[in-house]
Amino acid sequence: MEHGTFRGGFSFLTLYIHRVNSTKEIIKVAAAKQMTLQDRILQIDHIQARRFSKLTGDSIDIAAEGIIRHLRACARMDVNPDASAVREIIDDALNGRRVFAETSNDLLAAA
């Protein structure tokens, strides 16, 4: 068994399964490693992690929601999170703006 990481920082385990006819099948299984949002932002960019740690009040709630949405979108599209997007989310949170793209869940909730 080997350990590694997918793009986007998710870890995986590589399992080697030996079949009866001595062929080897490789299966990669996602292993959810829990971490705090602060730690995940630190993996993306240490400067934005420091800025995020200084947020208080409503701005931390706005930033956390925006960053979580960004991380989910990146995982869904299998791309690495963008440090500049995290910076913009924190800037908008400091200015009190909630700026998110609409998701299918948002559209269903509005109906």
H/E run at residue 85? helix 83-94
What is the pTM (predicted TM-score) of this model?
0.64
- How does pLDDT run across 82-92, given as a tens digit for each residue? 999 999 999 99
Cα separation, 23 vs 18, in Å, equals 6
- Band (106; pLDDT cuts 50, 70, 90): low
Annotated domain spans of the chain = 1-34, 35-111
Residue 15 pLDDT greater than 60, yes or no: no
| CB contact set of 28 (below 8 Å; sequence gap of 6+) | 12, 13, 14, 15
pLDDT tens by residue, 28-83: 555 567 788 999 999 999 999 999 999 998 899 999 999 999 999 998 898 999 99
Give the pLDDT confidence score for residue 26 in this predicted structure: 53
